[in-house]
């Protein structure tokens, strides 16, 4: 077969009426006697290919009819616009070449469990949803680089094997470095700070490792983080940078991945609202909100909604169960059974929320100034807003040693978290850094860290110290928020979770 007319599915719009060759994998196949409907994927999209008996040799028709899912093949035919077809185009096949016939591909077009799919992650990446998420991930990462590169930032690659504790000593991954204990980087921040004193505006972007014993939908032990750092910046300007940055990422995804977002069922209308300015709250405001009547009412209303939702689901389940016992076709029964499984899963989730609601309400009401905001507190604040929220000026004792004490109030630091809206929670943490040598040294001591390890970091405060600051954005959390994907593990090709690495 000649490869001269080979095109990608994404380019079919330019080939209507022409004879072309597609090379790809069989994603799905249906047959209706003398017509085969083969859906092909080639990495750029899906295309339904029509094979009619009589238009190709009989022997080839029989081979194609028996072809298993994920067989690789090349199909030649004429391109036609077709509304009914996935992607909007169809290929009327005139010739075909089977490259590798496949039998027993484990991931079928039916539903599968989480564990099974993670064990088959190397194959699951081919599935349509995962493919869409991967394309959005690509856009997010490209947008991150583009934003900083176009705004005068210099990329600095920070080390992965390191001696310093950037965040928390409990969550370090130890590495045996020729007999000496070292660990994997929890952040590149301290290194980008020194680079900021050379270039002014810098960022690092790479994998980050945290051995947190957190088994939640928002945690990975290996994740990607981008950390800009700017010399001569104050907190208001840093917030402005962060909101422009996040808005740019969302805009790029909306521009480049609209069909992926649609496939995933993402909330596009909400994403379109993500423009500066974002909401700004101080930690103290947040505490007032959490302990105030508004939150009480909000949670009570939410509980009400959940109860209604629960009742609706339950009556629907009862309805289906009655229907199931009647005289109906077996396939119809199975459809009902499948719907029931889905409804029951939804019901379980609603029940968990109902169970958690009073607990979260109690936690919020009893919240006292000085504690770090818990996961549920963040969720509540984020649910009460339709745009991202900056929470600034946290109590000093809940935060890392390098954050600058607020000159106007020495109980708080000049930091911020950015909470994504609609209950998603934190995607950015950042701060102005302590630039006074003696204050920083004291903070290092207070945290029980060894000052000698930080000699080079303290040097930055000895030789031309300037006000500076930066933040870190979690890539997978951002992708999960933008796509509406429930679990962060779907947002990285090969996830590493607490106690669990599949492949």
Partner RNA sequence: UCCCCGAUAGCUCAACUGGUAGAGCGAGCGGCUGUUAACCGCUAGGUUGUAGGUUCGAGUCCUACUCGGGGAGCCA
Task: List the interface residues with RNA, window 276-335 (CB under 7 A).
Answer: 329-331, 333-334
Question: Alpha helices, DSSP H only, in 268-413?
Answer: 268-272, 283-291, 293-325, 330-365, 375-383
Q: Which of 41, 124, 137, 219 binds RNA (CB under 7 A)?
A: 219
- DSSP code at position 171: G
Q: Which residues contact 132 (CB under 8 A, 6 or more apart)?
A: 257, 260, 261, 263, 264, 483
Q: How far is the CB of 411 from RNA (least distance, A)?
A: 18
Site for RNA in 473-492 (CB under 7 A): 473-474, 476-477, 487
3-state secondary structure of 216: coil
Q: Which of 198, 216, 259, 447 binds RNA (CB under 7 A)?
A: 216
State how far the Cα of 484 lies from the Cα of 489, in Å rounded to an integer.
Answer: 13
| 229: contact with RNA by CB under 7 A | no
The angle, 0 to 180 degrees and rounded to 10, between the axes of the packed helices 375-383 and 283-291 is 80
Q: Which of 5, 43, 57, 109 binds RNA (CB under 7 A)?
A: 109
State how far the Cα of 377 lies from the Cα of 31, in Å rounded to an integer.
Answer: 53
Which sign, positive or negative, has the C-alpha torsion 410, 416, 422, 427? negative
> Do 225 and 201 meet the contact criterion of CB atoms below 8 Å apart?
no
Interface map 353-392 toward RNA (x if CB under 7 A): ---x--x---x--------x-xxx----------------
Which range binds RNA by CB under 7 A, 61-69, 194-202, 250-258, 449-457? 61-69
Residue placing its CB nearer to RNA in the complex, 53 or 387: 53
Q: How far is the CB of 456 from RNA (least distance, A)?
A: 22
Q: Which of 17, 54, 326, 464 binds RNA (CB under 7 A)?
A: 54
Torsion-angle region of 478 (φ positive above 0: left; ψ -120 to 50: alpha; else: beta): alpha
Q: Which of 47, 64, 69, 402 binds RNA (CB under 7 A)?
A: 69
Q: Which of 163, 312, 352, 455 binds RNA (CB under 7 A)?
A: 352
Q: How far is the CB of 486 from RNA (least distance, A)?
A: 8
Which range binds RNA by CB under 7 A, 15-23, 26-34, 177-185, 295-303? 26-34
Query: What are the C-alpha distances in Å from 141 to residues 137, 241, 291, 490, 495?
Result: 6, 17, 38, 16, 17
- DSSP code at position 163: S
Residue placing its CB nearer to RNA in the complex, 171 or 194: 171
Q: How far is the CB of 180 from RNA (least distance, A)?
A: 25
């Amino acid at each position: 077969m000649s490869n001269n007319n080979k095109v990608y599915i994404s380019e079919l719009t330019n080939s209507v009426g022409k004879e072309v060759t597609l090379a790809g994998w069989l994603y799905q196949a249906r047959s209706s006697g003398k017509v085969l409907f083969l859906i092909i994927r080639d990495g750029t999209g899906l295309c339904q290919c029509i094979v009619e008996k009589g238009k190709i040799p009989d022997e080839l028709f029989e081979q194609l009819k028996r072809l298993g899912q994920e067989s690789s093949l090349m199909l030649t035919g004429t391109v036609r616009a077709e509304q009914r077809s996935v992607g909007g185009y169809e290929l009327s096949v005139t010739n075909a070449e089977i490259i590798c016939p496949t039998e027993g591909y484990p991931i079928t077009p039916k539903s599968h469990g989480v564990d099974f799919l993670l064990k088959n992650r190397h194959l699951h990446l081919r599935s349509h949803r995962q493919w869409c998420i991967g394309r959005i991930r690509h856009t997010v990462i490209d947008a991150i680089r583009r934003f900083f590169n176009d705004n005068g930032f210099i990329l600095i690659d920070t080390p992965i094997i390191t001696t310093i504790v950037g965040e928390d000593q409990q969550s370090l991954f130890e590495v045996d470095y020729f007999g000496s204990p070292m660990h994997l980087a929890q952040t590149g921040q301290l290194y980008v700070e020194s680079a900021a004193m050379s270039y002014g505006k810098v960022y690092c972007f790479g994998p980050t490792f945290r051995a947190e014993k957190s088994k939640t939908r928002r945690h990975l032990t290996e994740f990607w983080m981008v950390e800009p750092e700017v010399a001569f910046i104050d907190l208001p300007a840093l917030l402005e940078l962060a909101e422009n940055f996040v808005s740019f990422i969302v805009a790029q995804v909306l521009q480049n991945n609209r069909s992926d977002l649609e496939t995933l069922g993402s909330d596009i209308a909400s994403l379109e609202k993500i423009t500066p300015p974002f909401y700004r709250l101080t930690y103290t405001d947040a505490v007032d909100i959490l302990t105030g009547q508004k939150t009480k009412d909000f949670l009570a209303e939410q509980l009400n909604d959940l109860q209604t939702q629960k009742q609706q689901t339950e009556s629907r389940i009862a309805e289906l169960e009655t229907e199931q016992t009647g005289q109906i076709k077996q396939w119809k029964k199975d459809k009902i059974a499948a719907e029931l499984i889905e409804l029951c899963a939804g019901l379980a989730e609603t029940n968990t929320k109902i169970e958690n609601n009073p607990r979260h309400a109690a936690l919020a009401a009893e919240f006292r100034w000085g504690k770090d905001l818990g996961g549920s507190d963040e969720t509540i604040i984020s649910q009460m807003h339709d745009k991202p929220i900056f929470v600034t000026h946290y109590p000093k004792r809940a935060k890392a040693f390098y954050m600058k004490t607020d000159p106007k109030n020495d109980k708080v630091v000049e930091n911020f978290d950015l909470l994504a809206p609609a209950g998603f929670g934190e995607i950015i943490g950042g701060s102005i850094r302590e630039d006074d040598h003696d204050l920083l040294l004291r903070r290092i001591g207070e945290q029980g860290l060894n000052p000698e390890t930080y000699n080079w970091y303290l040097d930055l405060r000895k030789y031309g110290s300037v006000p500076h600051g930066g933040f870190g954005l979690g890539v997978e959390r951002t992708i999960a928020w933008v796509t509406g994907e429930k679990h962060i593990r779907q947002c990285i090709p090969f996830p590493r979770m607490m106690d669990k690495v599949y492949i």
